[in-house]
Amino acid sequence: MSDKKIHFKIITPEKIVFEDDVDAIYAQGLAGSFGVLPNHIPFMASLAVDTASIENNGEKIKFSIIGGAFQFKNNDAIILTEVAERDVDIDTARAKLAIERAEAKLGSAQSQNEIKAANAAIARAMARLKAASKN
């Protein structure tokens, strides 16, 4: 493995969710999934409500990423997003309850806005469950 690392930050309006040097970054863009290794050419992508992950010295860490943007340049990478959680910080019981609540709302929805909000809540919770899963 090369000595070169990527300096990577995940930032929300509230906090820095992650900041470290990593060997690789994988994320889900609106146009598909992508991976970035050191010395990649400059790159930007809009992010899906899904997961991202890093590898560092053989360790893998996953994150739920609630949309936002990814930028890479000169081995500096950043994800700017409204909300993100690191795998170990995700409360899976809370995410499952959020899905149950949203599914009940979908069942009784009276407007497109209600349907949209419930589907968005389900997408957030699914991203959290995916990030918290071991594989």
Footprint of ligand ATP on 6-65 (CB under 6 A): none
Closest separation in Å from C-beta 118 to ligand ATP: 11
Is residue 8 within 8 Å of 84, Cβ to Cβ? no
Is residue 125 within 8 Å of 61, Cβ to Cβ? no
Handedness of CA 95, 101, 107, 113 (dihedral sign): negative
Closest separation in Å from C-beta 2 to ligand ATP: 33
Residue 98 makes contact with ligand ATP by CB under 6 A: yes
Residue 95 makes contact with ligand ATP by CB under 6 A: yes
From the list 96, 65, 58, the residue with the least C-alpha distance to 82 is 65
Which one of residues 37, 61, 121, 126 is an interface residue with ligand ATP (CB under 6 A)?
A: 121
